[in-house]
Amino acid sequence: MGLITKRHPLRWSLLLLAGLAGEALALPGGAGLLQSTAVHAAMDTPLSQGMTGSSVVELQSRLGFLGYYHGALSGTFDWATYWAVRDFQYAFGLPVDGVVGSATSVMLTKATSAWTPQPALQQTASAANQTATPSTSAPSPASQPSAAVTAADATGGLSASDENLMAHVVYGEARGQPYIGQVAVAAVILNRYHSSLFPHSIPAIIYQPGAFESIANGQAWLGLHKENVEATMDAIHGFDPTHGALYYWNPATATSPWVWSQPIMLTIGQHVFAK
């Protein structure tokens, strides 16, 4: 089904194990709690989009070990690697910027204490540059998502048009809310996309009568911000702070008896969410 459908059911287990491993390593003899091998020290140079080299190969391998990266061990910090890093950062409570700095590197090393370089990986790393350097063919660090979705961003069966439409709904429904609230709106759209209760088409979901107030009143088309696009892409790449919610509403303005009959799961920003 593609990257869009990929979820990580072991993500929080890995997080717990990573924490336990950190505690165990601080105790005499505690290193045996998790079977681990010698791994590279935390990367000295921050890794960012557009860089290449053996450090990027290792980064991709470690992220793949945890289930965040699904591409080839190319040694190029491309878009797939960028979104995998953001996914990891989000799950492990780190600042979500897509850059592998000291904090991200240390956490990744801890979380992959059981990771072992395979012979194929070692050969790939040997073929790559030993020092990560900017690539002339990969996107530069400056080419972050802008307030538009391009064809190059199309992911997991969704077209750039689908993603752009989602980003406009995020703008109309959740602009001015915390970033996590914007991701949550995009996640609900995707949860509907994967549910048998809704059409299997992003436009059909969004244009269902009464489905999204910002479509009905035109608010979705009043603008688009960079963070709306980023929130949409984060949801597409697996972030779901709603835990599978199919509905949301603003409790301060919602009057529909039907929505209030749904059991509320959680509150994010100005919205409550339900299945």
Of 119, 77, 72, give the one whose Cα is nearest residue 98: 77
pLDDT one-digit tens code per residue, 105-127: 999 999 898 898 876 555 555 55
Residues 112-115: contacts with CB within 8 Å, 24+ apart? 112/39, 112/62, 112/65, 112/66, 113/18, 113/21, 113/34, 113/36, 113/39, 114/34, 114/35, 114/36, 114/37, 115/37, 115/39, 115/61, 115/62, 115/65
Q: Where are the domains of the chain?
A: 3-134, 151-274
Cα→Cα distances 195→50, 89, 207, 275, Å: 36, 27, 16, 11
Would you place residue 44 in the very low, low, confident or very high pLDDT band (cuts 50, 70, 90)?
low
Mean pLDDT score, 207-216: 92
Domain 3-134 sits in which CATH superfamily? PGBD-like superfamily/PGBD (1.10.101.10)
The answer regarding whether domain 151-274 maps to CATH 1.10.10.2520 reads: yes
pLDDT one-digit tens code per residue, 121-156: 555 555 555 545 554 444 433 334 455 555 444 456
pLDDT at 117: 82
pTM to 2 decimal places: 0.58
Would you place residue 45 in the very low, low, confident or very high pLDDT band (cuts 50, 70, 90)?
confident
Please state, as a whole number, how many other Cβ atoms lie within 10 Å of the Cβ of residue 198.
16
